[in-house]
Amino acid sequence: MIRVILMYVATFVAISFNAMAQNTNELKTVSDVELEKFLGVWYEIARFPHSFERDLVGVTATYSLKKNGNIRVLNQGYKNTLDGKVKSAKAFAKTPNPNEPGRLKVYFFWPFGADYLILDLDKDYQWALVGSSSPNYLWILSRSPQMDDGLYKSIVAKAQSLGYDISKLELVPQKLEE
């Protein structure tokens, strides 16, 4: 557990320093996010590989509102198989600028925050394309553990149009809906 948290910390520290060196305003985020609709469980459909999620499947991100207005973040997945040991990491997120609700900062280890950029979002909050200030981080999230192939391809095309190297995307195994 400590090792997983330390991997998250190290990665997000690296992202944070990378963000300082880059202009994060290059990527356009969604202009309207209703936080209440964004809260809840999101299934990771695809991602770029990185050390803090290595060998994790069935990954979810659960967002809930804290009393202070920040967002509680719980990321969890299963090691190697969908029946594997659960690995989790807790964090919090906030919107530094209310005029840019699609640009959040996530803190796994204070005071180092990483950009969480909502690049595209379904009008009904059923899927989201999330990136960072670094071109090395990208996630496709869904409210359900499976996604229609046509929809997935259209989101991937959007990511490619934003300059992401989509050849790095890897699908994340999820449990089948019952």
Q: Please write the tens of the pLDDT for every residue from 43-52.
A: 999 999 999 8
Matching residue, tokens 């964090």: 91
Spell out the alpha helix ranges (H) of the chain: 2-21, 35-38, 149-161
Domains and CATH numbers, the chain: 2-171 (2.40.128.20)
Instruction: Give the other-Cβ count within 10 Å of 27's Cβ.
Output: 19
Taking the alpha carbons of 164, 166, 167, 168 in that order, is the dihedral positive or negative?
positive
Tens-digit pLDDT profile for residues 67-104:
999 999 999 999 999 999 999 999 999 999 999 999 99
Calculate the alpha carbon distances from 90 to 75, 107, 116, 124, 144 in Å: 6, 9, 15, 26, 21
Tens-digit pLDDT profile for residues 112-164:
899 999 999 999 999 999 999 889 999 999 999 999 999 999 999 999 999 99
Res. 31: pLDDT tops 50: yes
pTM: 0.84
